[in-house]
A and B are shown apart, each in its own frame.
Chain A
Amino acid sequence: MTLGKILAVHSYKGGTGKTLLSINLAATFAEHGKKVCLFDLDFRAPSLATLLKVEKAEHWLNDYLNGACEIDKVIIDLSDRVHNGGKLFVALANPATEAIRDMSAKDRKWEMRALGRLLALRTSVLSDKAFDYLIFDTSPGLQYSSINAIVSADLVLVATTFDRSDVDGTRRMLRELYDLFEKKTEVVLNKVLDVSSRASKDDMQTKLKDIYQVPLLGVVPCFCDVLKAEGGIIFAQEKPGHPFTKILDEMANKIDAMA
């Protein structure tokens, strides 16, 4: 039996597609028959509750990190939406303004305890409940909650675009943050225009490896369909034939194949 993995999805800048990637990757793994739990660790701008259309939660991840409840109370089962017998669960961040304010005012000792609770999920959820993947969707940049997630993860996926400020910032972040924690990291290049010609694709891969010095997990073209859906559709679940879903299938298979 192989052990489950914890993935953290992070980026230097906002709007690079972390959440879209997290949701669809989680849905893809579930469609492949895996048992997955998606965690919303973006406490500054929680969005999974809306995107996954979960009306209300009894308990939030905020409560778990505050030590106010066990993780079992937070995890919601969405497996009825999965087609192939896979299991999809979610743990949500509280989107209430007061909760966001509360989370942004935590001190270092709280953050240290929060790290302890995130690390504890490896035993209490990943091993004890036999999950294949826990996916942490994080806030962009160097924030406590994001770095806690990175430290707790086995593999970090960094979503990036070709925007110059993003490229520069991502490169610095990889060198000055990820390298220090010796994290296994892969880059996902998102929102790429004119990906069509084969020559330019190979060229792009080499160029990216030169820039970031870490492996490239996948290249996601800019799909108008995805934008047009306005976050109302989870492509990996509802559009199995779409090229976007196919790219996610490939990425999920690549992650599966990693030791």
Chain B
Amino acid sequence: MSTQEALGKKPLLVLEKIKENLERLNEKMEIMIELQKHGRKDIQLPFADAPLDVMTLLSLPDHLRKTAMTLCRMGRATADEIAQQTKRARAVESAYLNQLVIMGYLKKERKGRKAYFFVDRENQG
């Protein structure tokens, strides 16, 4: 019986794993699409821990500033929560947030299926 149960659960686990990997792949695709759309000119790679101060906010392109400002106010949020504030699509915000992570301005942390973005103010410098 127990072997049967285990056998029954295994495909589910595999499916879960595949789904998770697909989600990550999707995020990476979003970043690549974003990079293609805007060209690489507005991205200076790679700054680990670049401070997201107000002068930096000012120098960001408009589409990224909106995302960065919203996260600054919220402190910590998922792409979904940011999208609710900016009234833009979740996939768009996800791409912008990941772009800001690549630029070194934001940090990203996974909790289960959700990815949280935040400004790491206290652990810098």
Q: Total A-B pairs in contact (CB under 8 Å)?
A: 53
Q: Does any Cβ of A come within 8 Å of B13's Cβ?
A: no
Most chain A CB inside 10 Å of its own CB: which residue of B55, B66, B69, B121: B121
Among the 9-residue stretches A37-45, A92-100, A103-111, A195-203, the one with 4 or more Cβ atoms under 8 Å from chain B is A103-111
Instruction: Report whether B72 and A119 are in contact in the complex, using a CB–CB cutoff of 8 Å.
Output: yes
Q: Contacts A144-B53, A177-B58, A180-B62; is A112 near B124 (CB within 8 Å)?
A: yes
Q: Does any Cβ of A come within 8 Å of B110's Cβ?
A: no
Which residue of A has the minimal Cβ distance to B56?
A108
Which residue of A has the minimal Cβ distance to B60?
A180
A145 to B89, CA, bound (A): 33
Interface residues of A, dominant DSSP? helix
Instruction: Report whether A107 and B72 are in contact in the complex, using a CB–CB cutoff of 8 Å.
Output: no
Q: Contacts A115-B53, A180-B58, A180-B62; is A109 near B72 (CB within 8 Å)?
A: no
Q: Does any Cβ of B come within 8 Å of A139's Cβ?
A: no
Contact of A147 among B51, B54, B65, B72 (CB under 8 A): B54
Q: Contacts A119-B73, A180-B58; is A111 near B53 (CB within 8 Å)?
A: yes
Q: Contacts A119-B72, A151-B72; is A112 near B121 (CB within 8 Å)?
A: yes
Instruction: Report whether B55 and A180 are in contact in the complex, using a CB–CB cutoff of 8 Å.
Output: no
Q: Does any Cβ of B come within 8 Å of A148's Cβ?
A: yes
Least distance between B88 CB and chain A CB atoms (Å): 14
Instruction: Report whether A116 and B53 are in contact in the complex, using a CB–CB cutoff of 8 Å.
Output: no
Instruction: Report whether A112 and B58 are in contact in the complex, using a CB–CB cutoff of 8 Å.
Output: no
A5 to B117, CA, bound (A): 26
Instruction: Report whether B73 and A112 are in contact in the complex, using a CB–CB cutoff of 8 Å.
Output: no
Instruction: Report whether A115 and B55 are in contact in the complex, using a CB–CB cutoff of 8 Å.
Output: no
A203 to B72, CA, bound (A): 41
Q: Which residues of B contact A109 (CB under 8 A)?
A: 51, 53, 124-125
Q: Which residues of B contact A113 (CB under 8 A)?
A: 121-122, 124
Which residue of B has the minimal Cβ distance to A148?
B54
Where the two chains meet, the residues of A that have a C-beta atom closer than 8 Å to any C-beta of B are 107-113, 115-116, 119, 144, 147-148, 151, 177, 180-182
